Amino acid sequence: MIAERQIQCADCVSDVDHCHDSLLRHVDGSLECTGVNCVDLASSRHALSIDCAELQGGCGCVDATRDALLAS
C-alpha cells in the first residue's frame, strides 16, 4: 500500500507569520484581505498582493474615483 502524501505550506511548517489569502490595494490607499480572519494587512504576510482594479468585474472604489475625477 502506498502512503498518502500530504502537501503542507512551507511557511506553516516553518512557523512563519503569513496569510494564505490575497491582499487588495484600493485606489485610496486602503488595504483589504480576501480572508475573513486576517487581522494583519502587512504586504509581507501575503504571497499575492494586487490592485483592486485588476479584479474581474472591477472594484467600486475605482469607479467612484474615476467618476470624481471626471466631475472635476
pLDDT for 17 equals 94
* Number of domains comprising the chain: 1
Does residue 56 sit within a domain?
Answer: yes
pLDDT for 7 equals 83
pLDDT tens for 1-29 read 666 777 889 999 999 999 999 999 998 99
Does residue 28 sit within a domain?
Answer: yes
Does residue 42 sit within a domain?
Answer: yes
pLDDT tens for 20-71 read 999 999 989 999 999 999 999 999 999 999 998 888 888 888 665 555 555 6
Q: Which pTM was predicted?
A: 0.69
CA dihedral 10, 31, 49, 44 (to 10 degrees): -40
Does residue 22 sit within a domain?
Answer: yes
Does residue 3 sit within a domain?
Answer: no
Q: Which domain holds residue 15?
A: 10-71
Q: Helices (DSSP H) in 1-72: which residue ranges?
A: 10-13, 60-71
